[in-house]
Structure 1
């Protein structure tokens, strides 16, 4: 059995006094989080909860109105943020060209940070039962504040099933967004393991810019998720962003922030729909195979220069994350493979040749056996092949470049 996790978002309905209590508590939580962050930065990035607790707990208890449990939550919240940043920095090395014009990659760690992580928005992490609980037959939620506990109504529209199935509710985050209060609750459930012995279906998925995802399955069928509409939408966002940046006023800066949030919500919705479609189409007991895109830069030569940097920032990792947890919930699995040569290998004769791929026509044409194919489809085919290698027990399947004969 494995644990499947996700987050449900409940809308809260506090009255004016309760909203003021929420704001005071979340601002105090934010203040302490920034103090802890500064301490970690000043003390060699010690992320041990025990060390942080030993140095700061008594001080916080004396000067803060937060209860003991929430102070402990502050320590865990800040430590988790630094661990996440450390993982991201490890994945994305610093790259530069040396005097010989060769790319050099330098690993990074937290010492590369020039200032401590800042917690810019009021927030609060609440422990189940200790800081929040559901009462009155799940009609209200009881929550901790700086003063006494309060009860208030909420809506769980769309999330009802998570309260009646075997889902376990965990730590929740109190979030204030555009004048509304939400409770984001992490939930987990034990699901059956993916079984590799029952001849699972294999689906290779190539992610890119022209097509956000191209899937190739056991039956030789291909599914394309067109990125043209996405490109046009991002172009509109870029135009609005430029207009606001040229103004430079305070109201323009506020609009820019709102625009960024809107674009992020839109990208999340697109990735959710793609992942949901893939899971619904291929069903349970499917091996979804993706390329490991860590440190991979997409070719944007066929895009306007003004859009190249913007389009590179599409949330490809987010799609991977959504697909992973959605697949796990139906006893499927996502596996990542080495991306080397997946767009250069001929699936018919095995020749690996970079010049066989023609970016201008988006076509692959093998010089040796004359096999022709859409280049995105070809990538998905080769990724699927690596998935077959993974099923045969090869831990890190990779395409090896063959020497051209004759």
Structure 2
């Protein structure tokens, strides 16, 4: 199978006119994206690239002076964004209660629920490999603009590892962040398909707040990755954000924007380091088993108000994404299992009882067999068991609550 990664390359811009060419190209591309977005919104969301291209391709080229490939990339990018939003809306149906009967109903949402076209506010441009950008033998990057091609030097640690002939470069995105220019390059590599028969380790991973990750393997070994320092730092970000929002000045808003970018980069770095540590710890031929957290809330009412919002918004899905692609590059795999009863089930006797878990003490104590352990560890143990069942042939293993006959 193929595994794709996104390489973030900083560009060394020495001549001011190069930055001006980039800015002009990105702004015209942004305006073209908004034009395509309005067309989709006003024409009942046609998401077939070829059909849309037949109608507005020439208009885009004439109106925004885009190169031929850039015009095609613009249409493709906007349609891809709408498809992503469509998927996200379908996953989050609208729940409402009938005021007369009191019954709850669920309605699946689609793109018609949008009140206005998707807006493209950040200047950027998508570049096609060998058409709009290329890597030269001199080590420079050749990038196409509306005013011709320019050559720039890339600055990226470890970039040479992608030049060994096993990686295939694809689409790249040119953007500017904090006054610096970057090229985000998509690279694809053919990796070996995961073989269940060759599995050496089955690792259950419980994600949470007190411990970002608690892992449990087939040998009965547990590893805790503390999240207390993360929570404290996020609380500081939230406090500073509240102060700036209360001011409401232009300078405060600029500071908020920078603060948001800094926090997002820090969160990504934490998740990168955590996923890398897990992959290196267990090695190749490992099955990492995670809970499916769709619909699961991490809101904690037992915490101070200042800590609640930042706790329930940690990027757990991002951690899963990072762990997945790193696992694939290391001949390993990540699977999701049902989260039902994983924190309520005793891993020794199998009894499922919600009251056995003490949230305040972070302890699970089974009143049936007497087994006692950390509640996050209990979750990881049950998840690991579901992973073992998956290896044995159950495609969707899950725990069921026993019913009395």
- Residue 185 of structure 2 aligns with which residue? 185
Inter-partner Cα distance in structure 2 for 1:315 and 1:376? 18
Q: Is the 8 A contact 2:29 2:64 kept in 1?
A: no
Inter-partner Cα distance in structure 2 for 1:212 and 1:199? 25
Inter-partner Cα distance in structure 2 for 1:138 and 1:3? 28
- The gaps in structure 1 that reach 5 residues or longer are none
- Residue 251 of structure 1 aligns with which residue? 251
Q: Is the 8 A contact 1:351 1:404 kept in 2?
A: no
Give the direction of change, closer, same or farther, for the CA distance of 1:109–1:92 in structure 2 (3 Å limit).
same
Inter-partner Cα distance in structure 2 for 1:93 and 1:200? 40
Q: Higher mean Cα deviation, 277-286 or 6-15?
A: 6-15
Q: Is the 8 A contact 1:91 1:295 kept in 2?
A: no
- Residue 219 of structure 2 aligns with which residue? 219
Count, aligned residues: 403
Give the direction of change, closer, same or farther, for the CA distance of 1:270–1:105 in structure 2 (3 Å limit).
farther
Inter-partner Cα distance in structure 1 for 2:102 and 2:270? 39
- Residue 130 of structure 1 aligns with which residue? 131
Question: CA-to-partner distance for each residue in 1:26-64, whole Å, 9 max, x for gaps?
Answer: 000000000001111111111110121011011122223
Structure 1 residue 106: Cα displacement? 2.9
Q: Is the 8 A contact 2:6 2:185 kept in 1?
A: yes
Structure 1 residue 248: Cα displacement? 0.6
Secondary structure of the corresponding residue to residue 66 of structure 2: coil
- Residue 87 of structure 2 aligns with which residue? 87
Secondary structure of the corresponding residue to residue 159 of structure 2: coil
Q: Is the 8 A contact 2:299 2:309 kept in 1?
A: no
Q: Higher mean Cα deviation, 393-402 or 292-301?
A: 292-301
- Residue 294 of structure 1 aligns with which residue? 294
Give the direction of change, closer, same or farther, for the CA distance of 1:59–1:8 in structure 2 (3 Å limit).
same
Question: CA-to-partner distance for each residue in 1:6-36, whole Å, 9 max, x for gaps?
Answer: 1111111231011100000000000000000
Give the direction of change, closer, same or farther, for the CA distance of 1:140–1:333 in structure 2 (3 Å limit).
same
Structure 1 residue 340: Cα displacement? 0.5
- Residue 278 of structure 1 aligns with which residue? 278
After superposition, residues 363-378 of structure 1 pair within 5 angstroms as: 363-378=363-378
- TM-score, length-scaled by structure 2: 0.96
Question: CA-to-partner distance for each residue in 1:123-174, whole Å, 9 max, x for gaps?
Answer: 0000000001122x24211111112212222223222111124111000000
Corresponding position: 1:359 with 2:363: no
Alpha carbon RMSD of aligned pairs, Å? 1.5
Give the direction of change, closer, same or farther, for the CA distance of 1:404–1:365 in structure 2 (3 Å limit).
farther
Question: CA-to-partner distance for each residue in 1:174-219, whole Å, 9 max, x for gaps?
Answer: 0111111111000010011111012431000001111111100011
Secondary structure of the corresponding residue to residue 160 of structure 1: helix
Inter-partner Cα distance in structure 1 for 2:404 and 2:221? 30
Q: Higher mean Cα deviation, 157-166 or 376-385?
A: 157-166
- Residue 56 of structure 2 aligns with which residue? 56
Secondary structure of the corresponding residue to residue 277 of structure 2: helix
- Residue 328 of structure 1 aligns with which residue? 328
Q: Is the 8 A contact 1:288 1:333 kept in 2?
A: yes
Inter-partner Cα distance in structure 2 for 1:35 and 1:86? 19
Q: Is the 8 A contact 1:357 1:363 kept in 2?
A: yes
Give the direction of change, closer, same or farther, for the CA distance of 1:328–1:54 in structure 2 (3 Å limit).
same
Secondary structure of the corresponding residue to residue 10 of structure 1: strand
- Residue 7 of structure 2 aligns with which residue? 8
Inter-partner Cα distance in structure 2 for 1:404 and 1:275? 42
- TM-score, length-scaled by structure 1: 0.96
After superposition, residues 365-404 of structure 1 pair within 5 angstroms as: 365-403=365-403
After superposition, residues 35-114 of structure 1 pair within 5 angstroms as: 35-97=35-97, 104-114=105-115
Give the direction of change, closer, same or farther, for the CA distance of 1:205–1:259 in structure 2 (3 Å limit).
same
